[in-house]
Amino acid sequence: MNDYSGLIKYLEGYGVSVSDDQIRQLDTYYEMMIETNKSLNLTAITEFSDVLVKHYIDSVSIVRDMDMSQELSVIDVGTGAGFPGMVLKIIFPSLNITLFDSLQKRLKFLDEVIRTLDLKNINTCHGRAEEAGHLPGMREQYDLCVSRAVANLQVLSELCLPFVKVGGKFVSYKSDKGSEELASSKHALEVLGGSLVKEDIFTLEDNEMVRNLIIIEKKKECPKTYPRKPGTPSKKPL
């Protein structure tokens, strides 16, 4: 088995303890990802030590700002190979998570992981956020929407905020470009009913990797016209 002490120590720093079973689950997930990555493009990062920091620790870094040990309903928009959603589910089993993506093949991989690890209260969902954001079963249904490496914040706000309940949060995992993106998103957030709670800027990997968790609260309902049809949010950002 690989060495997870870096992740265990990181989480301990936030009062989160991880069992041997959870570590085994993360390791099985890692092995399945590497195996599947030979035939399906899941991740460019494959070295274990890199995956541990850039995928696993980065995914759980939201513990800096939020108590994740609650029964929150969470959607991960553009989850890809399951980041951050799958890692959050393994570490915080009380979460009820929807892993959402427009690429069916990646979701098939995640379904296999869910089956193999026997995870409960987690499902995959296929679609475009622009369309799913209008479905009654998904619109304004989640306590928390997370998203990493999907679109710039101006566009992403339109894809993500419609899923969030009024009073819920949208947390965007960004890099050192986050503040710039936030500055361009003021109008989008206003229109969509979002309000900045804070930017949490920090570093991972011996201070090399700048991260910015942008935390937005949904203050009021999104107007019915949003999200606009697939492609429009990126072509004509708000």
Chain residues in the site for ligand SAM (CB under 6 A): 78-81, 83, 101-103, 106, 128-130, 148-150, 159
Is the Cβ of residue 41 or residue 184 nearer to ligand SAM in the bound state?
41
Q: How far is the CB of 44 from ligand SAM (least distance, A)?
A: 9
Q: Which H/E stretch holds residue 144?
A: strand 142-148
Q: Which H/E stretch holds residue 99?
A: strand 96-101
Q: How far is the CB of 199 from ligand SAM (least distance, A)?
A: 19
Beta bridge partners of 207: none
| Alpha helices (H) in 37-172, listed in sequence order | 48-50, 58-60, 85-91, 104-117, 129-132, 153-160
Non-local CB neighbours of 128 within 8 Å, separated by 6+ positions: 102, 230
- Helix, strand, coil percentages, rounded to 5, for the chain: 40, 25, 35
Q: How far is the CB of 74 from ligand SAM (least distance, A)?
A: 13
Q: How far is the CB of 16 from ligand SAM (least distance, A)?
A: 21
Is the Cβ of residue 79 or residue 157 nearer to ligand SAM in the bound state?
79
Q: How far is the CB of 15 from ligand SAM (least distance, A)?
A: 25
Beta bridge partners of 122: 97
Q: How far is the CB of 225 from ligand SAM (least distance, A)?
A: 17
C-beta of residue 65 within 8 angstroms of C-beta of residue 94: no
Is the Cβ of residue 78 or residue 193 nearer to ligand SAM in the bound state?
78
Residue 69 φ then ψ, to 5°: -90, 40
Distances (CA, A) of 83 to 99, 198, 234: 9, 22, 22
Distance CA 146, CA 78 (A): 9
Is the Cβ of residue 174 or residue 218 nearer to ligand SAM in the bound state?
174
Which amino acid is located at 81 in the chain? A
Is the Cβ of residue 4 or residue 109 nearer to ligand SAM in the bound state?
109
Is the Cβ of residue 41 or residue 220 nearer to ligand SAM in the bound state?
41
Distance CA 83, CA 147 (A): 8
Residue 137: both structure tokens together: 């079963």
Q: How far is the CB of 128 from ligand SAM (least distance, A)?
A: 4
Is the Cβ of residue 177 or residue 219 nearer to ligand SAM in the bound state?
177
